[in-house]
Structures are given as structure tokens and as C-alpha cells.
Amino acid sequence: MKKIIFILLVFILRGSDLLAIDARALETEAARAYQEGNHARAAELYNEILETGVESVTLYYNLGNCYYKQNEIARAILNYERALLLDPRDEDVIYNLEMARRATVDKINVLPLFFLVEWYNAVVTALTADQWGYFSVFLFLCFLGAIALFFHATTVAFRKGGFVVALVALFLSLSSVWFAAKQYRRETVRDQAIVMTPSVVVRGAPDPSGTELYVVHEGLKITVIDSLGQWYNIRLADGNVGWVPRADIESI
């Protein structure tokens, strides 16, 4: 039995190594195609890498650039947004996403958020879920160190300092765990999407005969709040809601 398990482990490890080598080879070929101006071929190769299960900011960023060069603005925005999910602070992605958005038709007036909500969202997206997790572990270790200082300090001042630091470190550690959970949900439960077709009629009901409310165009970012059959109930940044066919949008 042990021998069988060992063989299976070796097989799995070798398989993962082969996938990594294959992905690197495809990425090299894609970069070469991009430099030669063959953006369609580069996009095809980057998509092949994604199909192997590999995912990274650089991969989505490069794929977005390929689509942008081909004037496929909606797909460029989609991949830039996916890159930002993995690293919300990447300045290159943010800049290119803004450039792509300028080429879209719809200019939505975003509803202003209460300033505390803006601060909260800024804090949550300041780090990735993994980074928040590492930070929480570091703070918990600080908490343990402060507790040790509290119990072993020989002076009252050190005991008080250790107690205060322990409380602060514990609070920040628990907060970091909360932020990590929120960011993880943001990265995995992808309830935002991009309109992929040139124009879509948003209806008042999930039915082709539903009342026509307004029209949105490709490249627009929307939030999915519900679904029914082949229809999505969406909300725009300005608060407008309605129903659109699933086929017309793609989740970030």
C-alpha cells in the first residue's frame, strides 16, 4: 500500500511539473507572438495557459493587452478586471483598465458611497486574501509575544505595556482575518460581470417580452444580484436594475 501511495505521489508531482513546464513554454511563445504583432495568436496561447489551471496577474494583464490591441475592448476590460482581483494595487493594470474604459459607450455616474464604506473597501482591497492571512498570523505571533512579556515581566511598566500591545495585536489580528475572508469572497464569489455583446436591452422581467428599461453596451461592468433560468438580474453602478440574458455577459 505504501508503495502504491508513493507511486501516486510521484505521478502527481511529475504531472504538475510537466504542466508548469508546458505553461512556461506557452507563455514564452505567446510573448514572442505579441512582440511580433500577432496579437490574435498570443491571445490564443494565453487562453491555453488559463485552461491548464494557471492563473496570475501577469497572465490576465497580457491577455487583456492582446485583446486591447485587437480593439476587443470588452474582453480587454474583462481580463484587466480579473487581474485586479488578484492584485488590486497593480498600477499597470489600473492604468490600462482606465484606458480601455474610455473606449466604451456607457458613462455611468457612480452612486457616492458613505465615506466610512469607502474607507472600509479601500482597506479590504489594500491586500490580497493571502497577504491579509499572513499579516494576521504575524499579528497573532505579536500577541503571543506580548502575552509572554505580560506574564514574565519584572516591572509594572513592562507588564502594562505587554497587556496593551497584546490587546491591540489581538484586535488587529482578528480584523485581518475578517478582511482576509472578505477579500477571499471577493476573489472567489465573482458577482460582477462585463457586458460582452455590442448592445443589450435591459428588461423589467426575465423574459424577452419584458418591458424595455434601458440599453447597455459592451465593456460595461455590472453586478449580478440574482438569476433565473437563462437570465441575470443586474445592478449598475448608478443603482439602476433589470434583467439581461446570461449569454450577453461574462463573470469577472
Q: What is the pTM of this model?
A: 0.74
pLDDT at residue 88, as a whole number: 83
Q: H or E stretch including 212?
A: strand 212-217
Q: Are 200 and 244 in contact (CB under 8 A)?
A: yes
Q: Which of 128, 126, 244 is nearest to 193 (CA)?
A: 244
Position 248 scores a pLDDT of 95
pLDDT of residue 42: 95
Inter-residue contact 234 to 202 (CB < 8 Å): yes
Which phi and psi angles does 226 have, rounded to 5°?
A: -170, 170
Provide the pLDDT for residue 73: 96
In the chain (252 residues long), the average pLDDT of successive 10-residue segments reads 42 45 82 92 93 90 96 96 89 95 84 75 84 94 92 87 93 94 82 93 93 94 92 92 95 90
Q: Distance between CA 229 and CA 206 in Å, rounded?
A: 8
Distance (Å, whole) CA 176 – CA 136: 5
pLDDT of residue 120: 84
